[in-house]
Chains A and B, each alone.
Chain A
Amino acid sequence: MVAAASKCRVCRGPAIIDLPRHNAHFCAEHFLDLVRRQVMKAIDKFDMLAKTDRVLVAVSGGKDSLAVWDLLIDLGYQADGLYVGLGIGDYSDTSAEYARRFASERGLKLVEISLRGEYGYDVPTAAKATKRVPCSACGISKRHLFDKAALDGGYNVLVTGHNLDDEAAVLFGNTLRWDVEYLARQLPVLPARNGFPKKVKPLIRLTEREMAAWCIVRGIDYIVDECPMAAGNKHLAYKAALNEIETESPGSKAAFYLNFLENMSPVLAAATVAGTSASGSEALHACSSCGAPTTGDICAFCNIVNKASAIEPVPVELVMSHSKGRR
Chain B
Amino acid sequence: MKVLLRNPAREIELAGRRNVNALLAELALPRESHLVIRNGTLVPGDAELAADDVIEIRPVISGGS
Contact = CB atoms under 8 A, between A and B. Distances in A.
Interface in A70-107: none
B34 to A, nearest CB: 8
Interface stretch (A13-21, A48-56, A146-154, A263-271): A13-21
A226 interface: yes
A2 B7 contact: no
Given A209-B33, A243-B33, A4 B46 contact: yes
A112 interface: no
B42 interface: yes
A218 to B, nearest CB: 11
Contact of A2 (B37, B48, B58): B48
Interface residues of A, number: 46
B44 A15 contact: yes
B63 A5 contact: no
Nearest to B45: A18
Contacts of A25: 44
Contact of B42 (A1, A6, A16, A247): A16
Given A209-B32, A243-B33, A135 B63 contact: yes
B50 interface: yes
A206 to B, nearest CB: 11
Interface of A: 1-6, 15-18, 20, 25, 28, 62-64, 135, 138-139, 165-166, 169-170, 207-209, 211-213, 216-217, 224-227, 230-231, 233, 235-236, 239-240, 243-244, 246-247
